[in-house]
Homo-oligomer: A and B are copies of this chain.
């Protein structure tokens, strides 16, 4: 026998149970998106390299998969690449189709992306992203609706989460008032370690990162912020009063909290000044969602951007979006055993027969059940009963309808409950009532 075939490293096959579970996640998310009026789009797997290059930094460019037509000479530089995320194709889509689109444009997109990363546990070269964005409005109702979507998706999935929120304008304000406007990212990265390494080590790191002692001193009230979100925002108002940008960030944050309260959002929301994702492109709110009962990092994240489409020549279009991490959500649902049990098998009944005549008889039952919307299978030949039962068992089909001569004579089947082992002879209408 030839060598067993395989797939490229970092890629995966998804079998039937994995697909049922993945579809459960995607369907849950999609149905919530739809309630909020977001509609699906899809873009091609391959984009022109000119669309992709230079959008993800030097490191990102190296992780692009390039595509060559078979006919092309190896010497010819490839002109196409596989999409690296859904954000750049979305920006390209908005600019390319701007005449046809209705703004604010609310879209979601669930498609695979590819990165030539070194494969490792939990990191793949092909994985799905699941993005939702509203673009063409700077209204903070965008932020509110994304928060409501996070609440509803995780409520439906049964995962307890905390949403961390920050605002880039506040971070910029902090850097500004301590006199180090170019050190915003250094400051945020250092603050992020506060819980782990303590205030003294953070101060040391800040100095190593080039802040003067005086600037570090000015930062202390921020490191010592405590109390409720409202307390923190009030304190920040004092600290940032000299920074127009900082004050704008606080006003945005306060308005988001007001909207959240006015609409009765129950989600845990935490003001988190350490949250620093996407500072290269986010200009306002920054979000990150963590599962409370699993140690897995961020399972959803996003933020507001004011110039996403600028890279394609359409500046000053504000939008806000988040991305659900399907692979991590899958892992959390697995770890916490939260997948619905009925995802195991769509098939409710397998018909198992003792002979060709019984098989024909079973086909009419099968047809009647399917006409009622019941998913059923018939084992396609009268194989040994053990084999037929084994098939049902392996596929976790909950009932087997056994057909022999007696059942045919009495117009019944012997219905076996595979969980309890219980058997009883039933008519077609009794069977329909049972499954």
Contact = CB atoms under 8 A, between A and B. Distances in A.
Contacts of A77: 74
Given A13-B96, A44-B11, A96-B4, A375 B35 contact: yes
Contacts of A137: 380-381
A212 to B, nearest CB: 41
Interface string A33-61: 01111011111111110010000000001
Copies per assembly: 2
A79 B65 CA distance: 12
A419 interface: no
A168 interface: no
B62 A66 contact: no
Interface string A1-22: 1111111100111111001100
A75 B376 CA distance: 54
A382 to B, nearest CB: 10
Most buried by B among A6, A11, A37, A78: A37
A93 interface: yes
Given A62-B70, A68-B78, A44 B96 contact: no
Contact of A346 (B37, B61, B92, B104): B37
A114 interface: yes
Contact of A66 (B7, B12, B70, B134): B70
B376 A46 contact: no
B381 A36 contact: no
Contacts of A15: 41, 97, 100
Contacts of A116: 69-71
A362 to B, nearest CB: 10
A380 B37 CA distance: 12
Contacts of A5: 48, 51, 92, 95-96, 312-313
Contacts of A421: none
Nearest to A364: B263
Nearest to A381: B139
A360 interface: yes
A347 interface: yes
Contact of A13 (B97, B375, B380): B97
Interface string A125-144: 01000000010010101101
A112 interface: yes
Nearest to A62: B70
Contact of A313 (B3, B41, B93): B3
B19 A42 contact: yes
A385 interface: no
Contacts of A152: 370
A227 interface: no
A153 to B, nearest CB: 13
Contacts of A74: 74-75, 77
Contacts of A175: none
Interface of A: 1-8, 11-16, 19-20, 23, 34-37, 39-48, 51, 61-71, 74-75, 77-82, 92-93, 95-97, 100, 102, 104, 106-107, 112, 114, 116, 126, 134, 137, 139, 141-142, 144, 148, 152, 259, 262-264, 312-314, 346-347, 350, 359-360, 363-364, 367, 370, 373-378, 380-381, 391, 394-395
Given A4-B96, A13-B42, 10 more contacts: A7-B48, A14-B42, A15-B97, A19-B41, A46-B114, A62-B70, A141-B359, A141-B378, A141-B381, A262-B363
13 contacts: A5-B95, A7-B51, A8-B46, A11-B46, A13-B97, A35-B373, A37-B376, A37-B377, A46-B65, A104-B380, A137-B381, A262-B363, A263-B364
